[in-house]
A and B are shown apart, each in its own frame.
Chain A
């Protein structure tokens, strides 16, 4: 224990230099701004800024890039809440209740609780990284393809709990999501599936493209149709910050979200993507009045936001301890480290303790800076909503197009946003819920990949899913969740639970 503190002291000493704090601030600010810009995400930004890191020292460079990463998480929540536009996988869930809160004039409270919840989660997660990083990454190694598959099954079953209205419609959305997830190349044979010969689809549909189209553009189309119901404009803004009552109400959700996010973030292979969904489902199940969810329940923002920030922090663990990046952003950090002459791997902690602990310390500093940056910005964001819609929506559309284009430098993506926007609008009119579609779209390919891989490694032996204890446990959880969904009394309650917007 004393060891950890002396290491942390070393880290803080290295991270608290004026230069490094400045770089952290710049990173966090840039990250927040690009997070707000729909489409343009941390991957494209970090890639663009990699050349700058040549002239910085390794710790400074990594601090700045990391700042961009979690800054973008915050920024993504901002657009999710304000204009129903999730910029990242992690902000999709925030749109469900966050945007509803904004429509009720409580945008400030939503943004504020997202910031505070994320800060708490980030701080706790940083401690976890510091205390138990290497140990946790060892444990995570036990997570093989069978376990991942089981985990994804839990997630998929949870998707039906996530949104309701008609169970049939939710399942339909899930199936469509799974179908869209199959577009691309088959991982084993390389065969093209549903690409219609278009090379840009060979790697599948981009998540950002789908999310922005289905959520953001569809929302714009719907707002243009219902000129009388542009909730965000009309509602009176009731206070810019969450009240103490709000904070008290959200605290348990924040705690649970932190726990979920921290655990899932450690799993290499992007287990963190499930964190906000799992948190939302948990909060809805535990709430005394689940019908509030989908209508602006603050726990529906606090929990998932904490979960995804905790996950973002702990996803550094596989990178720092094993040198294996769990997702595309971390892969970029690997590139940045390599350019600086540091080869990430198990030896970094021992050979370069200043770098390792300095990174960890700067994570906490970054979280603190984000609260400092974001809380005052809430006032500006909320006022931005008062801009006449006829001026606001072209600007949003423009930023969407630019943002989506920068992901892959491909016009096809922008075209697809338009297509999905129309599709999303159609879905809204017909009373379908896009959130389960998106979750299935993300989980489907992961499930398929892991299922096939588990079979390959086990040589076609299907019992591998039940003979491995962790996998069995997760499948039982999924079964339990399924039963809960199918129980008629629960189903009846769910009909009332989700707020249909027409």
Chain B
């Protein structure tokens, strides 16, 4: 095969992956245009991809434990070594762990609150509890036989010893670090129960035979009764510890219940002579064997039923607990991410069924009054803003057990930090398009006296809302403070520097108390710089070095890093990045109009945005592609311009 042909295969493979699986073959055949060899080759690769996906072929090697750092670029331009965030990992939150959980709102990549893991853990725990019970039972039996009853056959200890050894081995296996597949756990569980039943049946057989041979039918009867009691314990414990469906429970419990009688029956058949006392009971003692045995059987039946209903009850409670991952009227779906003090879940309103992002603050995580106050303030302040480019707050509340939460719109898409990390630097016209939207959101916030204070790429989300692509949303007003001069500016109540220093304004970095709206404009300029060049204006060295550089060093003009950045846009960005607030734009509105006057301003519109999302391979865009007609290169058109953008 030649590299040229391989390139064709590569393109087709790539495009085919974005076509819905059902349509793939048809699409591929059409695209191959009669070239059967090509079709076969790509189909084979697609099948292999499918197989690799299913079988987990070549999974990502374990991420090695390297210390996190400020940025996620490697290799370093200068200093020592630096590392990336774990792949696909959390959004690049600042080293100080700023309050940025909303940055984690994104689609698809968030981890499930791993129900199966929890399930596994509890299955292991249950099994361990059962094993402990069995070992205890066997030990008590042995102790009783040798210390209290004092007359066993020495060989009677063997089955118990085997049982204890097996149980210990199983316990070691379960406690080991290696994950055990669920079916193997289940098998282990069934094997253990079968073994316990067999051991007790065997010892019942032995004991009853032993006493019968000694001509002691009374002790033999006792042995039978003990055996029934033990069966009762087994049945109950299984029902309690293994809350499975009633069918499986019945399958397990029935043999345990039947075993004592089956053993007795077997004993009677094999040794009719010594067991003759059973038949003679009627005459000698006035009790028929039927009466004796049927009572035991009844007892076990009642217990089995009780155990089954107990198991049912417990499994229902368990399910309820799981469903109690419900907060207020919202049902939590999966975890989207976690930040400094809260976790963000994809949630759904009970009745509206509208997907939304729910941010939880657990009392256990941060219970200080101040943290809660900050949380409440964030919600209230954000909720006062209604600009379409500000994230919308739907709801806010506190559950009975003191968990604060608030609910905001769920944004499919990604934040700007991820956008740059995944897709590289943005074309200037797109930067203008996105920033103008944020300017409008800021205008409203500044207008009511709010300074965001933590504008950074991970706090700006690019999303598809309605039919509109590339809607920018400003998130996380966690650090918002009324801009009236009050309170300490850069240290939070906990005395930490909040937020990442990479996008801080110089006045913020030096801790000047009189922050105003122009501090946000600086940060926005820094974001623009990052979008255009792939890195923040000052990113070298540690936190301290950055803070110092922010205050003193001149900015390297973006065009020095990337020549094609238009001169007029660069001027706007550099003006935002002026050290002196007075030399920046007066307000967000004038920044917006300056951006609008850039020559590239009209260059990115709905059509470009739509094409980008479709071609990006991002889940959101990919979905659109698979819904679209067969040919992925066909562009849908006729979209409205994004809300908030003037053109």
On whether the two chains bind one another, the answer is no
> CB within 8 Å of A: which residues of B?
none
Q: Could you tell me which A residues sit within 8 Å of B by CB distance? A: none
